[in-house]
Amino acid sequence: MLKFLLQKEFIQVFRNKIILRMIFFMPIFQLLILPWAATFEQKNILLSIIDNDHSMASQKLIQKVISSGYFKLADYSTSYTEALKAVERNQADLILEIPHNFENDFINEHKSEVMLSVNAVNGQKAGLGSSYLGQILSGYNKELIQQEKTFVQIVSKPYFQYNTEMNYQNFMVPGILVMLVSIVGGALSSLNIVKEKETGTIDQINVTPIPKLIFILGKLIPFWVMGLVILTLGMFISWLIYGLLPLGHFMVIYIFAFFYLIAFTGFGVIISNYSNTQQQAIFLLFFLLVIFFLLSGLYTPISSMPKWAQIITIFNPVRYFIEVMRMVYMKGSTLLDISTHLYVIIIFAILINIGAILSYKKTN
């Protein structure tokens, strides 16, 4: 009985050109665009400069700031009031004011100050911009000290483990792969069932003696398979475009994805059980998926969230898959390392699918 139900589901899926296009083109477009766009690194921060010293030292400092790649020169202002007007017109994000006698103070007193004024409307941009500028000023200060040879320096050489190149794509791509798999497992499975409700096809199945469990399995397995196909295609594209391969074993990812997709396709079935039209299903999916993704650690570290949000993430299955993907891709984690995450997702899979079976109302 299950065999014939699966044949029907696969034929129906392959006849749906929209689903086929989503399966093959969605991973390509999202992996091409999102890893470059979804970054917390700030560049081209607009900088207004007030140079009151006009010395060699001040010119060298300005050149060092602009050549860093983080800042774009908005204008040279003659006064702080003029620079502040540029900020008010959104033509500048930061103001760097170099005082009179900047060079003389450093030579004579080995100390000089500059003023940094930050537009904090965008708190993240303000914080990163001031941090970047602070690092540049610190580096410039060390250069001058070395030239003067007045101090003995202790130089620290940081070693960045796991992501040695500090490449943000290495951090984002594994999370985006989880997002793709979640959309296929949750959204497409739900919309496919609701479409059958609208066309009346599901009523024909309901009058047959097919048990609830067999019906649910018939709906889950095709999208479970497609989720694994999407994951494989996404990992291939990640390697082809970004040269990104997991440091751990592929099977660790597939074992976890096996249970994750069981959980998320069950989630899609629950959504379809409470939706009579595709519009209702889309609304519920959009509402819940946005919450899942925002509270998963994909964009914002969970440790940076408020305490109440951190508690909610415990009940978010997406969080665990993203953590596992990053652990396997960047740390080379083994099945033993992710065992806690695996136990949690198995519990999710069992509970969610029990909910899917119980919430499915079959009429005879």
CATH number at residue 129: 3.40.1710.10
| Average pLDDT value for residue range 279-291 | 90
Q: What is the DSSP letter of 99?
A: P
- Does some domain include residue 264? yes
Whether residues 245 and 320 share a domain: the answer is yes
CA–CA gap between residue 130 and residue 134 (Å, rounded): 6
- Does some domain include residue 159? no
| Average pLDDT value for residue range 323-348 | 93
Please say whether the beta carbons of 136 and 64 come within 8 A. Answer: yes
Handedness of CA 47, 48, 53, 59 (dihedral sign): positive
Whether residues 59 and 176 share a domain: the answer is no
**pLDDT score of 59 more than 80:** yes
Whether residues 176 and 261 share a domain: the answer is yes
Whether residues 125 and 216 share a domain: the answer is no
Question: Which candidate, 249, 210, 279, 287, places its Cα nearest to that of 3?
Answer: 210
| Average pLDDT value for residue range 294-299 | 88
- pLDDT, residue 152, reads 40
CA–CA gap between residue 173 and residue 163 (Å, rounded): 13
CA–CA gap between residue 80 and residue 54 (Å, rounded): 16
- Does some domain include residue 160? no
- Does some domain include residue 156? no
Any residues with CB less than 8 A from the CB of 213 and at least 6 apart, and which?
Answer: 357
Domain extent at residue 340:
2-38+166-359
169's tokens: 């794509």
Helix and strand element counts for the chain (H, E)? 15, 4
Residue with tokens 């009179």: 100
- Does some domain include residue 155? no
- Does some domain include residue 157? no
User: How many structural domains comprise the chain?
Assistant: 2
Alpha helices in 207-329 (DSSP H): 212-242, 250-273, 278-294, 307-313, 317-326
CA–CA gap between residue 141 and residue 132 (Å, rounded): 14
Handedness of CA 15, 21, 24, 30 (dihedral sign): negative
Whether residues 29 and 173 share a domain: the answer is yes
Q: What's this model's pTM, rounded to 2 decimal places?
A: 0.74
**pLDDT score of 28 more than 80:** no
Q: What is the pLDDT of residues 154-202, one digit of tens each?
A: 343 555 557 767 677 888 889 999 998 998 888 888 888 888 788 777 7
The pLDDT-based confidence of 231 (bands split at 50, 70, 90) is very high
The pLDDT-based confidence of 93 (bands split at 50, 70, 90) is confident
> What percent of the chain is helix, strand and coil (3-state, nearest 5)?
65, 5, 25
**pLDDT score of 212 more than 80:** no
69's tokens: 């790649």
Among the ranges 32-41, 291-300, 319-328, which has the highest mean pLDDT value?
319-328
Whether residues 50 and 193 share a domain: the answer is no
Detail the DSSP E strand segments found in the chain: 45-51, 71-76, 94-98, 115-118
The pLDDT-based confidence of 151 (bands split at 50, 70, 90) is very low
- Does some domain include residue 30? yes
